[in-house]
Amino acid sequence: MSETTMITIEGKHRAVTGKGACRRMRRDGMIPAVLCHKGKSTALEINPKFLARAWQNEKSFNLSLDGKVLPVRITELQLDHVKRTALHVDLAHI
């Protein structure tokens, strides 16, 4: 897949982790995410607006993080089984 067809999703680092913080984040319209890269994991929050399109687009997209654009792939997406909304997403750097 070429770089021009991949969508870009904005991501932000998150300092707080845990169940309560993730619930507040989801209530505010963001999705908790984890980026695995070079044996390290980084806690993120992303906007779910374009996540469905990235899932349909071979599970790959560009992640804009701290001014850098990283190509990533969705390795796991956890969905609410009733509402069918995203609860958590795991990402891996390509």
Mean pLDDT of the chain: 87
Q: What is the CA radius of gyration of the chain?
A: 13
Q: Quote the pLDDT of residue 59.
A: 83
What CATH number does residue 19 fall under? 2.40.240.10
In the chain, what percentage of residues exceed pLDDT 70?
96
Give the tens place of pLDDT for each residue, 50-65: 887 887 777 888 999 8
| Domain count along the chain | 1
What confidence score (pLDDT) does residue 1 get? 47
Asked whether the predicted pLDDT for residue 4 surpasses 60, the reply is no
Mean pLDDT over 63-86 rounds to: 90
Q: Is 0.95 topped by the overall pTM?
A: no
Backbone phi, psi, residue 71, to 5°: -75, 125
Q: pLDDT tens-digit profile of 5-31?
A: 788 888 899 888 899 999 999 999 999
| Domain residue limits at 66 | 3-93
